């Protein structure tokens, strides 16, 4: 795997380090022996130049705006595949045959119910609790329920836990929503698709039959596909770090949910729609563009910019198209969509955004679709967590199955006081 070496000069000494080539993307300098050989650490807060692991799941070319899952392009997957199929692909490495897909979908549909005792957890939350707070709590609590599959060294146990997590997430998310609006929880209907079942549990009521709208079902499924995985982002790295200590998968996914909640990450779709609503009308856009450019103003254009994409986020392209489809189907217009389109055009022609390579990301348009479907903004990040669970689980599995896996333990550049003697309280 090592094709080349990199030479590091420190003072008068030179050190050689192997350089590895992946199948795509930049080469990496293997610095695992750096400390042992030189006594130095590297310094890379935010991991801007650090590959934290080896992975065969997802590849992003940020300069070209390309996203691949197991080699398949996200545009093709979102147009032609389904969330269940993409889940299988991420977990197993290859697209399933018809029989394999049916078997996988059947298995997932047979794990959708929650232990009845879990429903009581919801009642401990205030009705106005943010659903992400509920998700963190309830998903973490799953650890206390499935004692039959906690041996993470056993691939079969890992598989069962993975299936449970993917299957139960829609039920948990829908219950978080139902709790917030004071409606009864709905049990899953396993005759429906993964996405159709989620829509029914969210928007249906026990007193009426819920008809799944196929256009909304397809749009929602596509949104799930677009969020399924995104290589070593903050929440996925959190899941891997938590899992590296041997923690159980439910606790690891709860940690991922906590990280995803932040407005710089999964919380950005909620923040983006709130921002678009605050802007309100196209004539106010220039004012907000100026604010985003002002170094003394903390305001940023939410849904714009990305650590990896320095080009249009391919997921945003699909999202923009899906907004039009949903609006046509529901026969609604949302003035916020016009604000978004004009804001995008203005920003993309502004030297500040051009120079910094800031483009719309997946979150810029997703809020408009989700709002049109009927989700309140607090639910947006929950939907992200639901779909990203498959990526988290696949990445966690990949890490645990790696024979070279170690506990994650970064080092630091210490800038605190030098050693000093304790001064008794009476002398201070």
If one asks whether residue 160 binds ligand ACO (CB under 6 A), the answer comes out as no
Range 286-305, binding ligand ACO (CB under 6 A): 292, 300-305
The nearest distance, CB 234 to ligand ACO, in angstroms, is: 7
Q: How far apart (Å, rounded) are the C-alpha atoms in residues 385 and 170?
A: 10
The nearest distance, CB 296 to ligand ACO, in angstroms, is: 12
Q: How far apart (Å, rounded) are the C-alpha atoms in residues 364 and 376?
A: 16
Q: How far apart (Å, rounded) are the C-alpha atoms in residues 385 and 302?
A: 19
Long-range pairs, 92-101, Cβ under 8 A, ≥24 = 93/56, 94/70
Q: How many residues bind ligand ACO (CB under 6 A)?
A: 18
Among 221, 229, 313, 363, the one annotated catalytic: 363
Given the complex with ligand ACO, which of 159 and 291 has the nearer CB atom?
291
Among the residue ranges 18-26, 325-333, 356-364, 418-426, the one whose residues contact ligand ACO (CB under 6 A): 356-364
The nearest distance, CB 236 to ligand ACO, in angstroms, is: 11
If one asks whether residue 361 binds ligand ACO (CB under 6 A), the answer comes out as yes
- Residue 2 φ then ψ, to 5°: -85, 120
Among the listed residues 358, 383, 385, 386, the single contact to ligand ACO using CB under 6 A? 358
Among the listed residues 306, 319, 340, 370, the single contact to ligand ACO using CB under 6 A? 306
Q: How far apart (Å, rounded) are the C-alpha atoms in residues 10 and 12?
A: 6
Given the complex with ligand ACO, which of 265 and 321 has the nearer CB atom?
265
69 noted as active-site residue: no
**SS3 category, 391:** helix
The nearest distance, CB 267 to ligand ACO, in angstroms, is: 8
If one asks whether residue 239 binds ligand ACO (CB under 6 A), the answer comes out as no
> Two tokens at 204?
């249906």
The nearest distance, CB 56 to ligand ACO, in angstroms, is: 22
Given the complex with ligand ACO, which of 238 and 361 has the nearer CB atom?
361
**SS3 category, 268:** helix
Among the residue ranges 37-45, 161-169, 178-186, 353-361, the one whose residues contact ligand ACO (CB under 6 A): 353-361
Q: Give yes or no for a contact between 204 and 212, defined as CB atoms under 8 angstroms apart.
A: no
Q: Give yes or no for a contact between 59 and 249, defined as CB atoms under 8 angstroms apart.
A: no
Phi-psi region of 47 (alpha: psi -120 to 50; beta: other; left: phi over 0): left
The nearest distance, CB 109 to ligand ACO, in angstroms, is: 28
Residue nearest to ligand ACO (CB): 305
Among the listed residues 225, 228, 339, 362, the single contact to ligand ACO using CB under 6 A? 362
Task: Give alpha helix (H) positions in 126-154.
Answer: 131-141
Among 111, 230, 306, 334, the one annotated catalytic: 306
363 noted as active-site residue: yes
If one asks whether residue 356 binds ligand ACO (CB under 6 A), the answer comes out as yes
For 76-91, the DSSP string reads HHHHH--HHHHHHHHH
The nearest distance, CB 285 to ligand ACO, in angstroms, is: 13
Given the complex with ligand ACO, which of 177 and 353 has the nearer CB atom?
353
Q: Which residues are within 8 A (CB) of 24 and not within 5 positions of it... i.e. 6 or more apart? A: 59, 61, 68
Q: How far apart (Å, rounded) are the C-alpha atoms in residues 124 and 146?
A: 21
Range 259-288, binding ligand ACO (CB under 6 A): 264-266, 268
Range 54-83, binding ligand ACO (CB under 6 A): none
Residue count of the chain: 428
If one asks whether residue 314 binds ligand ACO (CB under 6 A), the answer comes out as no
Taking residue 105's Cβ as centre, other Cβ atoms within 10 Å add up to 19
Given the complex with ligand ACO, which of 196 and 266 has the nearer CB atom?
266
Q: How far apart (Å, rounded) are the C-alpha atoms in residues 354 and 346?
A: 11
Sheet with 72-73: list strands edge to edge.
58-61, 66-69, 72-73
- Residue 255 φ then ψ, to 5°: -65, -40
Residues belonging to the active site: 306, 363
Positions that interact with ligand ACO (CB under 6 A): 264-266, 268, 292, 300-307, 356, 358, 361-363
């Amino acid at each position: 795997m090592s094709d080349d070496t990199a030479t590091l000069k420190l003072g008068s000494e030179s050190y050689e380090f192997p350089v590895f080539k992946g199948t795509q993307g930049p080469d990496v300098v293997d610095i695992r022996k750096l400390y042992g050989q030189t006594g130095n650490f590297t310094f890379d807060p935010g991991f801007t130049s650090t590959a934290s692991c080896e992975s065969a799941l997802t590849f992003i070319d940020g300069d070209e705006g390309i996203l691949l899952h197991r080699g398949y392009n996200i545009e093709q997957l979102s147009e032609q595949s389904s969330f269940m199929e993409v889940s299988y692909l991420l977990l197993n490495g290859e697209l399933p045959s018809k029989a394999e897909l049916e078997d996988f979908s059947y298995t997932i549909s047979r794990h959708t119910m929650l232990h009845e005792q879990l429903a009581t957890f919801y009642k401990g939350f205030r009705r106005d609790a943010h659903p992400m707070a509920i998700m963190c709590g309830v998903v973490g609590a799953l650890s206390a329920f499935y004692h039959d599959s906690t041996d993470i060294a056993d691939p079969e146990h890992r598989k069962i836990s993975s299936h449970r997590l993917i299957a139960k997430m829609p039920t948990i998310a829908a219950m978080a929503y139902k709790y917030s609006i004071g409606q009864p929880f709905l049990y899953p209907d396993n005759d429906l698709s993964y996405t159709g079942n989620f829509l029914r549990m969210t928007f249906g009521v026990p007193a009426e039959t819920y008809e799944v709208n196929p256009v909304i079902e397809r749009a929602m499924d596509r949104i799930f596909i677009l969020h399924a995985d995104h290589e070593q982002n903050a929440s996925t790295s959190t899941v891997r770090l938590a899992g590296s200590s041997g923690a159980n998968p439910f606790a690891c996914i709860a940690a991922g949910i906590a990280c995803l909640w932040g407005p710089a990450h999964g919380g950005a779709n909620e923040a983006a729609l709130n921002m678009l609503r605050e802007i309100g009308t196209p004539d106010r856009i220039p004012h907000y563009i100026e604010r985003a450019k002002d170094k003394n103003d903390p305001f940023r254009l939410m849904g714009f910019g990305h650590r990896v994409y320095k080009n249009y986020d391919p997921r945003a392209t699909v999202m923009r198209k899906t907004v039009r489809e949903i609006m046509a189907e529901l026969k609604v217009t949302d003035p916020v969509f016009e604000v978004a389109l004009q804001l995008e055009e203005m920003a993309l022609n502004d030297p500040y955004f051009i120079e910094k390579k800031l483009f719309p990301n997946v979150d810029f348009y997703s809020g408009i679709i989700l709002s049109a479907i009927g989700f309140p903004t607090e639910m947006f990040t929950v939907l992200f967590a639901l779909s990203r669970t498959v990526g988290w689980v696949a990445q966690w599995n990949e890490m645990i199955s790696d024979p070279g896996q170690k506990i994650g333990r970064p080092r630091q550049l210490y800038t605190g006081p030098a050693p000093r003697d304790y001064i008794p309280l009476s002398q201070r």
